[in-house]
Amino acid sequence: MFEKREFPILEYDTNPKAKIDPSNLTAKTDVPECCVITFFGDVINEMLQSNKLKQIATFYSCTVHLPIYETKYKGKSIAIVQGFFGAAGSAGLLEELIVMGFKNFIVCGAAGVLQKGIQVGHLIVPYSAVRDEGVSYHYIEPSREIECNKHAVNTIEKLFENEKIPYIKAKTWTTDAFYRETEDKISLRVLEGCVTVEMEAAAFFAVSKFRNVVLGQILFGGDDLSGVEWDSRRWTSREEIRRSLVELSFKTCLQL
């Protein structure tokens, strides 16, 4: 019996066996080893309309069904699936993808920027995430931050440097509550080195570490929270950036 703590979020249970196992809900199947999880549904739809995708599985939930597709990149098979919004959904999706047989993951999406001077579309490689969400505390003992897989980070950096792609290697802030990103919280996160804010990285890092798979993440600078007022910077309409980032994710994932 684990010890009761002052707050339930701190009651980490070291028992690896849970009452519901992801293998109860899905099964191992014939899939590639590499999978890109992207939050850019428009890019997936473009690929689908161009007959570049073949559906090989589905992630089922009570709110949305996410098709899992296989495609070819430079002659090699790789999967792509749209990400589930927020930490809890992302953890559930990753759990089931792992059971299906995927072993290497690159996640790509956008993030809010917390520091001035980061242009829309500038790439950020998170090496660590501040754990201001709930999921990671059920996979890894409590700590302020969780690191991304070092091999994944090194692989992304090596590819970017070889191709002379500008990027920032940085700490990110993962939070469940995007409507509670207050001035004081933003200031504190900036002081501890956070460059971006998003909702999934800490969960992805925790689940992948717990399940012993390789996962890295690439973000692009989206909306701006560094000024007096929030600026959307029309980040959702940057189609070419999103398309290019998915292609970069394919290339990186196949090198993991």
pLDDT one-digit tens code per residue, 85-131? 999 999 999 999 999 999 999 999 988 888 777 776 788 999 999 99
Q: Which pLDDT band holds residue 240 (cuts at 50, 70, 90)? A: confident
Fold of 28-253: Rossmann fold (3.40.50)
AA letter at 117: G
What stretches of 39-118 adopt beta strand conformation (E)? 54-60, 65-73, 76-82, 104-113
User: Residue 120 has what pLDDT?
Assistant: 66
Q: pLDDT exceeding 70 applies to what percent of the chain?
A: 92
Rounded CA gap, 40 and 45, in Å?
9
Which one, of 232, 28, 217, lies nearest residue 125 by Cα? 217
Contact predicate 245/220, CB 8 Å? yes
Q: Is the pLDDT of residue 238 over 70?
A: no
Q: Is the pLDDT of residue 19 over 80?
A: yes
Which one, of 31, 60, 61, lies nearest residue 213 by Cα? 31
Residue whose structure tokens are 């292609």: 247
